[in-house]
Amino acid sequence: MPLVVFNQKGGVGKSTITCNLAAISASQGLRTLVIDLDPQGNSSSYLQGAQASDDQPTVAGLFEHSLGYSFRGVPPAEFIVSTPHEGLDLMPSSPALNELQAKLESRQKIYKLREALQQLANDYDRIYIDTPPALNFYTRSALIGARGCLIPFDCDDFSRKALYTLMDNVQEIRADHNPELVVEGIVVNQFQPRANLPQRIVNELIEEGLPVLQPYLPSSVKIRESHEQSLPMIYMEPNHKLTQALVALHGVLRGGVAKTAAKTRRRA
């Protein structure tokens, strides 16, 4: 099931959550692919490190193919590269995505990523899609092509206000383009349990019936070291509390039916 990690607000941990969940999938023996649709390429850098090269295939090539340039007849797998981690592949980002966007929109290529995902479905057990911090062509393409959407959330009032708009946008895409799309849940990131504001905001979201997932991901400086070393937490610090929270979150999502904090609270 392709899973999109999306939030219109930047700095909420999209790439970090995408790559760490994907690394956990691969470490558990699942054939895993990350598609990096963000021109900034943070997921690509995180997973490849020094292995990245300027002449490697990228997701921009996939979209150029959809425009009918010089890639006619090339399957989506041709734009995938390996990473240093066994079982974990990547369709890297490229700055060329910025230049391509207007052409793709004018040619109405919004369904081409969905076609590519359908072709790749038998090759991978898990596909994670990192998206730009905007509801643009690439994010819409991902939401149209996927079946699940995961929403990273940091606990402040600005993020909360943006969350309502985001949920409305996802529901609109579901109604207009992809009836199979579901919000798998809201991932509370960099949670500080001893601070009053984060706890209050999360509790209010749960009371409103929003699909807040457990566990919450704790704040940790280790994640910065993980970024610097281009080494997801499951490989760098498998016993760290953040790693264990990510593993637990992965387990919640693995069956395709997310158990939310709201449901847990109602049963209590």
Look over the chain and give the mean of its residue pLDDT values, rounded to a whole number.
Answer: 91
Q: Kindly list the distances between the CA atom of residue 51 and the CA atoms of 82, 83, 166, 230, in Å, as whole numbers in the listed order.
A: 9, 8, 35, 10
Split into its structural domains, the chain has a count of 1
| CATH number (domain holding residue 130) | 3.40.50.300
For the chain, give the percent of residues with pLDDT over 90: 80
pLDDT 10s digits, 15-73: 999 999 999 999 999 999 999 999 999 999 999 988 888 889 999 999 998 887 544 56
> Half-sphere exposure of 37 toward its Cβ, with a 13 Å CA cutoff?
27
212 close to 186: Cβ distance less than 8 angstroms: yes
Least confident of 72-81, 88-97, 118-127: 72-81
251 lies in which domain range?
A: 2-267
Give the Cα separation of 49 and 55 in Å (integer): 15
pLDDT 10s digits, 104-130: 999 999 999 999 999 999 999 999 999
- Amino acid identity at 179: P
Residue that the structure tokens 């993980």 belong to: 226
147 φ, ψ to 5°?
-110, -15
